[in-house]
Amino acid sequence: MQDHEKYDELMEWGEKPHNERKPSKFNASFHDTNPLCGDKITVYLQVEAKAVKDAGFSAEGCTISIASADMLFDELKGMKVSEVLKLDEKHIRELIGISLGVNRIKCAMLPLKAVKAALVEHEAGKKQ
């Protein structure tokens, strides 16, 4: 796929995210912001048997941030928590598929950062 095609696909994800929703049932959530650009995201996860059963988000932000969240959330469903916690910037760059500068990668990483925080808080709460 050429860069302009990938860019068009990214725009589509950002403009019509299908995972932007608050699931009826969730037991982990986290709100985070990117102070550089003002992007905001709240993630909602249903974690069962150490895996993500369902996931949704609400967000205000740029196309990169929302597209990154939507693509990531497609992958999350069914993943083990331990696998999610291993995801990194390289994985997000592969999902996005276009070159991102230093500031734009922070937009793309915000959803993963929030997901990991929600999972860490969830796991810590279960151990108390």
Scored b (16 or more CB within 10 A) or e, 18-54 reads ebeeebeebebbbebebeebebbbbbbbbbeeebbbb
Tens digits of residue pLDDT in 8-51 = 777 776 788 899 999 999 999 999 999 888 999 999 999 999 99
Query: Looking at residues 68-79, what average pLDDT do you find?
Result: 95
pLDDT at 103: 80
Distance CA 78, CA 117 (A): 18
Domain borders along the chain are 3-122
CB 22 within 8 A of CB 58: yes
Tens digits of residue pLDDT in 55-66 = 999 999 998 999
SS3 88: coil
CATH number of the structural domain 3-122: 3.90.1010.10
Q: The whole model's pTM is what?
A: 0.91
SS3 111: helix
More confident residue, 126 or 95: 95
